[in-house]
Amino acid sequence: MSDSGARGREGAAPVRGLTVVVAVLTTIVLVFVVRRVAGDWPHILDGTVPDDDLAESYVAHPWLAYTHIVPGVVYLLGAPLQLSRRFRTRHYTAHRRLGRVLVACALVSGVLAVVLGIVFAWGGVAETLASLLFGTWFVVCLVRAVVAIRGGRVAEHRRWMVRAFAVGTGIASIRIWVGIFTGIQLGVLGMHDETFPIPSTFGLAFWLGLGLHVLVGEWWLRRTPALDA
């Protein structure tokens, strides 16, 4: 048995597991985007105000909100293909062209994530600080990735793109944490008279969802160094 064959089999299992996780996270994002559109656009088109305070922010600033959401979804759908070794080795020209589009989408979405976190952070100061920190980190990762590939440093480019994708998919984990906190507040604490999600837990969900994804991204890069080759 060759060393390369052994390394290939060792690397296959974590990649398969990661593929499932990414598919689940992407599905969560798509479900919430569909719900967002279905809830917002009737009000946007009719000029009415929703009862939900969180939805009211999206309806009041649709261009800002959806210029963040739409490019972000495009990036999250395309990035897994870009990170696939099979795709980039077999279709290098397509990989480069798609990469330019996805990086542009990601930069627009990332910059506006910071803006949204400052302009109308429903989760308060905690959400604002999380959006500022992790949104900036997301943009920095993208810029570093572009600088690296323009300098011919392919492995470094890939590592920065992995970091960007890791924190980008954190938007799905935010929703998971919001669901967990809401379940605790309803089922354990019996807070049935409150509006859900509660703003304070919404801000905390940002820190947990995005922060843990940054840590997992770094763990993945240390766990699979052979994939840089």
How do residues 167-181 score in pLDDT, each as one tens digit? 999 999 999 999 999
Identify the weakest region by mean pLDDT among 3-7, 59-63, 72-76, 82-86.
Answer: 3-7
pLDDT at res. 12: 60
* Rounded Cα gap, residues 118 and 105, in angstroms: 20
Question: What pTM value is reported for the model?
Answer: 0.88
pLDDT at res. 228: 55
pLDDT digits (tens, 9 = 90+) for 34-44: 999 999 999 99
How far, CA to CA in Å, does 39 sit from each of 25, 45, 87? 21, 11, 37
Identify the weakest region by mean pLDDT among 5-14, 41-50, 80-89, 173-182.
Answer: 5-14
pLDDT at res. 6: 46
pLDDT at res. 169: 96
The backbone torsions φ and ψ at residue 119, rounded to the nearest 5 degrees and listed phi first, read: -70, -50
**2 pLDDT higher than 70:** no
Q: Look up tokens 């939805």; give the residue.
A: 55
Between 34 and 185, the higher pLDDT residue: 34
How many angstroms from the chain centroid is the CA of residue 172?
7
**195 pLDDT higher than 80:** no
Average pLDDT for 140-163:
95
What does R_g of the chain's alpha carbons equal in angstroms? Answer: 19
Between 30 and 11, the higher pLDDT residue: 30
Query: Given pLDDT bands bounded at 50, 70 and 90, which one contains residue 5?
Result: very low
